[in-house]
Structure 1
Amino acid sequence: MKSIWGSSREDQNDTASDRASGRNSLNVERDSAPPNEHTRLLPNRVDSTTYLSPDDPAVSPYNLWSIRITRYFTILFTLATLVWWTIILVSTFVTPPGFYIRGSGFFPFSYASLTLANLLFTLLFFAIPSKAVRIASLVFSGLLFIDAIVLISVRQTRYEEGWVGAFVMAIWTLATDRLVEWGKYEEEERLTGRAETRRTLAEWAAVLISTTSMVILAAAVLLMTCTLFLRALDAGLAAPGKLYLVDGDKYRLHVYCRGNRTDHTGSTLPTVLVEGGEGPVEDGLWSFANNAIKNGSISRYCFVDRPGFAWSDTAPSPLSVGMVVEAIDEALARAGEDGPWVLMSAGIGSIYSRIFSSRHGDNVKGLVLIDPLHEEYLNDIGAAGRGFILWLRGIVSPLGLDRVPGALFKSQSKEDRVWGRSAYQAGKYIFTRLQENLVADSLSKRDVASSRAIQAQGVPLTLISSGAHIRQDSKWEERQKDMSHLTHNLQHWDIVNDAPHQVWKTLEGRELIEKRLQQLVH
């Protein structure tokens, strides 16, 4: 019996030994196996035969390599978007070679900002997927898809802004959130026995913040979509003149001329070159010039929209007054317009006319400056605070906070938005004024000083000032008097008592301007 029991114990010991060696061999085989989709971050704890607590750190979607590699790619896309966002931001002030956009540049900046915000929120709440976030992200992506279709299908928007890469990143973040939810479900079911439906207070707060953020982003894209539809409608408004490429074919300027070069006797008469003030020529001076032709005060006129005004493209930054005049000169040459000229300008437009006059010598037969801006006021135009406000206005301009309600509730027309009052709310116009601000007290001031030094002194000069403006600003009269000495051939200096800064808006102002133009032209 002893031998039987002894052999039995030996057999049991051998069996236990065999099992232990079998487990060891299985462990070795498992440890030496290559990692797969279910490779865990904490193998020693996860390999337990019992289920883990849902709060255990080992229960994480990061256990899956597909989740980890998706996160790495999201980080890479975020860094690339940040670089692109920085380039667009810098190009507003100094345009790098090859990054010129013929539109305002604010739309691409807005899309880059939205994409960057979307990617950052995705990374911040990467491991906390939410159905509400996916719904908002789906709306966000759908609106961006509509924007991409509008931008690509409409020739003008495609020419000015290009394609929307934000749509691709929106699809990526949407797919990422869905993938993380799947990974979270898989790991919870495998490691805890069931998918976790509860959330901690911190997780609920994260879901609330991420959902709110996505709703805000979707609302911003909705407003941008409305603005894009307005721009697509406005693209159907044909320019009255022709567009000519300038500055090495970088951008186009709109040139419009009307009238006859000769009078009824066959004599060649000067063409009146009209330069607008703070806004486009079309907004005020265009109708004045047409009436002057009807009344016989002038025989012919031309105007060139400055970069960013009406139908003209924007120009690369920086852009000084002298650079604009060079572009205007080139556009007129390409249009076959070579003068002789009588220059008529108002407000800040007088600075452009003065530089144009100084560079054309005897080909300029007269200067009519309507309540002109003196170069000393370029300090105010170039103020840093003013530039910052313009930049902020430009950043929010793609939302169309003024233009969209105007179109919906005030029946604003295409003309209003292209060159009328609503045009002052457009990104192109704001961008041009910002460019004007950036170099007003440096490059532009130098251009004006140079023009004054080389101005032909025999050019007939007529100065027409606003009486209301003089009464409001005592220094304004002193500056007007200084400009009466721009040449040695001052013909008239008229002060229209009741006229505002835009003198032609009063009957007395219009009649006086026509009279002075007629004297210079005929």
Structure 2
Amino acid sequence: MKRFFNSADNASQSPGQSGRSDLGESASRESIDPVVAAEVDETTRLLPNRIDSSYGRGYLSPDDPAVSPYNLFSVRAAHYFTVFLLVLTSIWWILLLVALFVTPPGLETRGSPFNAFSYASVAVTLLAVSLLFFAAPSKSVRIITGAVALLLLINTIITASVQRTRHEEGWVGIFSAVWAFTTSIWTIIADRTVQWGKREEEERLTGRPESRRTLLEWIEVSVSSIALLLLCAVSALLFCTLVLRSLDAGLAPPGKRYWVDGNKYEIHVYCHGSKSKEPLPTVLFEGGDDTVENGLWQFAQNAVQNGSINRYCFADRPGLGWSDTAPSPFSAGQATEALSEALARAGETGPWVLVGAGSGSIYSRVFSSRHGTEIEGLLLIDPLHEDLLDRVGAPGRGFWLWLRGVLSPLGIDRVPGALFKGRTREDRVWGRAAYQTSKTIFAKLQESLVANSLSRRDAITSRAIQYQDTPLAVISSGKMISRDKRWEAKQEDLTKLTHALLNWDVVEDAPHEIWRTLEGRALIEKRLKKMVHLPLKKRPIGGADEAAAAIAVEIEA
């Protein structure tokens, strides 16, 4: 700056006036020094523009690159802090993504980890949009972000207030919701800071705040507004789904929940019927793709009323019905251990007749092999063979389940179902719409991830240690056999699980869920009644072949 004024003075003096000029220059320096000597800070470092303006020299053009809110330290600090938050949130997002497949220690949830993942995704998107369009603040952006923040706050309050959602989400889900709300508030503060800095710099460097926007700025504001409107819609859908979950939490389970696996999660167990003076076994049902409540429960109730069986129990596998989800990975063997612990805590000790349907037959077989002395019979309803688990664990199926799980917290199918199709709480918890819930989808994803590895190994091992004198009955679907020859061959192979095969029945025109037909229900009840009422004191204890023959004679009698 001194160089600017010296050159102006030198240009106006003649060679003969050097002494006067020096004196005048000294005087001018003394008069200017108080201004020039002032310490340079973030509001004066672009001078001489401000000093020029005091001498009538004008301001910078509004299009000058020097006119930027980044000149201010406060704006730069807000930018750096937003980057820092994005890095932290991205790390949290990655951890939750990993938890969908393998649960890191301490990141367990008793509900669906997809819910926490959705809030982390909202937080990452908010911060990313804020950084991409950081220098283009907008009032519309702040209003939309405020709406997102309000919805996230309401979701956080509901999650923490409802006992069941608080139990299922745990600290992971609640923290994710709180963090998403916090990042939304910060993006509003950051945008407001940039708006203030932009106005300050325009007034200082151009003489007035700029009211017009360039085409690029309009594009940036439009894109950011659209992105945030989508986030607002996502937050609204999360709210609607959370309201449904809160309503569903009021549906009391028929049985009781019991802590298992070191109190990590709870398993729902329900038993019904009387323990007669006769030592009759209790029937333990294991559902297939659906819960026991969705079909087999009604069959079991009718069987008790008809006197075919005396008492039955069933437990929801982790993630299904009223049971919590378990940490990943989760195999059939681990599910059996959880079931055994839950039954023990419920005071149910058997003896048992096991009924396994579809994929549930894998779990029944593993349970039978590990509790051989307590098992009085094994009835398999169109069972899944371990060699066909590659269908359950197919990569395409796993990816589809993952994609459905990521979208499931939005309730795209659940919310319209509740509003327009009359779907009830029972439908969503254990009925026809249960497959839409995040918890059930996560359980199916867990099953798919280990079906062809850990669960297949468990099934093969169970076959090797299965008690060979255990009475066995297999009932197959005629429709499944007619359209899949491999399925037929594997059904026949499962009749060789023990040496005490009682019956292998094929129900023509019956679907995979055989009990949904009158003929299928009648046949299942008939076989089950014979197996349950075989007097335990007459059970043969000789060789496997003798056992099978003696049991067959007793049943025919």
TM-score w.r.t. structure 1 length? 0.95
Equivalent residue number for residue 75 of structure 1: 83
Q: CA deviation at 1:23?
A: 2.7
Equivalent residue number for residue 424 of structure 1: 435
Q: Please give the residue correspondences for 1:97-496 in structure 2 after superposition, counting only pairs within 5 Å.
A: 97-161=105-169, 162-163=173-174, 164=177, 165-262=179-276, 266-496=277-507
Q: CA deviation at 1:15?
A: 3.6
Equivalent residue number for residue 532 of structure 2: 521
- Paired with 2:52 and 2:295, the residues of 1 have a C-alpha distance of 83
- Paired with 1:316 and 1:204, the residues of 2 have a C-alpha distance of 47
Residue by residue over 1:370-390, the C-alpha shift from the partner in whole angstroms, topping out at 9 and shown as x without a partner, is: 000111111111111110010
Residue by residue over 1:384-430, the C-alpha shift from the partner in whole angstroms, topping out at 9 and shown as x without a partner, is: 11100100000000110110000000111110010011110111111
- Paired with 1:81 and 1:169, the residues of 2 have a C-alpha distance of 9
Q: Of residues 93, 99, 124 in structure 1, which corresponds to 2:101?
A: 93
Contact kept, 8 Å, 2:382 with 2:514, in 1: the verdict is: yes
> Number of matched residues?
508
Aligned residues: percent identity?
58
Which letter maps to 2:139?
A: K
- Paired with 2:529 and 2:302, the residues of 1 have a C-alpha distance of 13
Q: Does 1:17 align with 2:17?
A: no
- Paired with 1:201 and 1:34, the residues of 2 have a C-alpha distance of 34
- Paired with 1:156 and 1:45, the residues of 2 have a C-alpha distance of 64
Contact kept, 8 Å, 1:39 with 1:64, in 2: the verdict is: no
Q: Does 1:35 align with 2:41?
A: yes
- Paired with 2:100 and 2:168, the residues of 1 have a C-alpha distance of 15
Residue by residue over 1:2-57, the C-alpha shift from the partner in whole angstroms, topping out at 9 and shown as x without a partner, is: xxxxxx99667524322124434642x32xx2735x354x4566654331100111
- Paired with 1:312 and 1:481, the residues of 2 have a C-alpha distance of 34
Q: CA deviation at 1:202?
A: 1.0
Q: Please give the residue correspondences for 1:45-56 in structure 2 after superposition, counting only pairs within 5 Å.
A: 48-49=52-53, 50-56=58-64
- What is the SS of the residue equivalent to 2:59? coil
Range with greater deviation from structure 2 (309-318 or 186-195): 186-195
Contact kept, 8 Å, 1:355 with 1:448, in 2: the verdict is: yes
- Paired with 1:383 and 1:46, the residues of 2 have a C-alpha distance of 70
CA, structure 1 residues 148+14, in 2 after alignment: closer, same or farther (shift >3 Å)? same
Which letter maps to 2:501?
A: L
Contact kept, 8 Å, 1:45 with 1:58, in 2: the verdict is: no
Q: CA deviation at 1:59?
A: 0.9
CA, structure 1 residues 166+452, in 2 after alignment: closer, same or farther (shift >3 Å)? same
- What is the SS of the residue equivalent to 1:482? helix
CA, structure 1 residues 10+476, in 2 after alignment: closer, same or farther (shift >3 Å)? closer
Contact kept, 8 Å, 1:39 with 1:65, in 2: the verdict is: no
CA, structure 1 residues 353+88, in 2 after alignment: closer, same or farther (shift >3 Å)? same
Which letter maps to 1:437?
A: S
- What is the SS of the residue equivalent to 1:312? coil
- Paired with 2:280 and 2:433, the residues of 1 have a C-alpha distance of 36
- Paired with 2:30 and 2:233, the residues of 1 have a C-alpha distance of 65
- Paired with 1:378 and 1:350, the residues of 2 have a C-alpha distance of 12
Q: CA deviation at 1:258?
A: 0.4
- Paired with 1:172 and 1:25, the residues of 2 have a C-alpha distance of 41
- Paired with 1:124 and 1:358, the residues of 2 have a C-alpha distance of 59
CA, structure 1 residues 465+25, in 2 after alignment: closer, same or farther (shift >3 Å)? same
- What is the SS of the residue equivalent to 1:421? coil
Residue by residue over 1:135-170, the C-alpha shift from the partner in whole angstroms, topping out at 9 and shown as x without a partner, is: 211111111111111111111111112321201110
- Paired with 2:185 and 2:26, the residues of 1 have a C-alpha distance of 57
Contact kept, 8 Å, 1:367 with 1:460, in 2: the verdict is: yes
Q: CA deviation at 1:348?
A: 0.2
- What is the SS of the residue equivalent to 2:110? coil
- What is the SS of the residue equivalent to 1:103? coil
Which letter maps to 2:387?
A: E
Contact kept, 8 Å, 2:44 with 2:50, in 1: the verdict is: no
TM-score w.r.t. structure 2 length? 0.89
Contact kept, 8 Å, 2:282 with 2:311, in 1: the verdict is: yes
- Structure 2 unmatched runs, 5+: 1-16, 534-557
- What is the SS of the residue equivalent to 2:85? helix
Q: CA deviation at 1:434?
A: 0.6
- Paired with 1:327 and 1:339, the residues of 2 have a C-alpha distance of 16
- What is the SS of the residue equivalent to 2:371? helix
- What is the SS of the residue equivalent to 2:211? coil
Q: CA RMSD in A?
A: 1.6
- Paired with 1:277 and 1:416, the residues of 2 have a C-alpha distance of 17
Q: Does 1:64 align with 2:72?
A: yes
Range with greater deviation from structure 2 (201-210 or 350-359): 201-210
Contact kept, 8 Å, 1:369 with 1:462, in 2: the verdict is: yes
- Paired with 2:61 and 2:138, the residues of 1 have a C-alpha distance of 22
